[in-house]
Amino acid sequence: MKLFGSRCDCVLAIVRKDFLLNLRRRATFAAMMMFALTTVASLSLSTGGAILDEKFLAAILWVVIFFAATAGLSGTFDDEAQAGTLSTLKLYGDAQAILFGKMFVSMLSLLALTIFILPIFCVLFDVNVEKIFLLLATILFGLIGLAAAGTLTAALTTSAKIKGGLFAILLFPVTLPIFLPAIRLTEISFTSAQVDSSLLVVIGAFDTILILASSILYDYL
């Protein structure tokens, strides 16, 4: 019980540290927001107000979230890598606590990004959300998996010279099993079609696998 409490304290300390750093340097978060906003606005203008298929709209939403996430999550460990303090941090904190602290910060960033971009997306593409709770649940489950995969991928590519391109290349195949059912569920939330709850179970299963895999592999990095 004491070990669990100590690990939780370490996780909260990591979250607090990264949150304060992100408040002082808002460039990364601003880059995510501006990329998402520019992409959505450009796609909306290029369609010229045409009525788009719900499946296409769902795919656009998740593509925007994915590439905006790559702009922010790739630098998850940059502060420690540039200062050379990552190994020191592991001496003062449990490796698992560092991983889950970073993962939680990534999840918060993705949630803020989605809260910002989703209303704009719905307005610009004139999307009528028929099943709002299904859409919210799908986004939450999808972002959990994206945060888990993104945090581990960021740890793997910290020392890479061409990290930006490599990060996206490694992240995409890992998160593809999440995006495919997420796109389908998002499409259903835009229509009156019957809900396939098994797709949420699939996303939840992949989320669990990604979190467990991240936890196991991070100790060897």
The Cα–Cα gap between 81 and 76 comes to 10
What's the whole-number mean pLDDT along residues 203-212?
94
What's the whole-number mean pLDDT along residues 158-177?
80
Say yes or no to pLDDT of 3 above 50. Answer: no
CA 151 to chain centre: 9
Give me the pLDDT at residue 24, please.
Answer: 62
pLDDT digits (tens, 9 = 90+) for 24-73: 666 667 777 888 888 898 888 888 767 788 999 999 999 999 988 888 78
Q: Scanning the structure block, which residue is given the tokens 């895999």?
A: 213
Say yes or no to pLDDT of 140 above 50. Answer: yes
The Cα–Cα gap between 124 and 64 comes to 14
Q: How many domains does the chain have?
A: 1
pLDDT digits (tens, 9 = 90+) for 80-109: 666 666 666 666 667 788 888 889 988 988
Give me the pLDDT at residue 78, please.
Answer: 72
Give me the pLDDT at residue 149, please.
Answer: 93
User: Residue 70: which domain range?
Assistant: 2-218
What's the whole-number mean pLDDT along residues 110-128?
91
- Name every residue whose Cβ is closer than 8 Å to that of residue 71 and which is 6 or more positions away in sequence: 28, 31, 32, 35
Neighbouring C-alpha atoms within 13 Å toward the C-beta of 114: 24
What's the whole-number mean pLDDT along residues 131-151?
94
Average pLDDT, the chain: 84
Neighbouring C-alpha atoms within 13 Å toward the C-beta of 89: 21
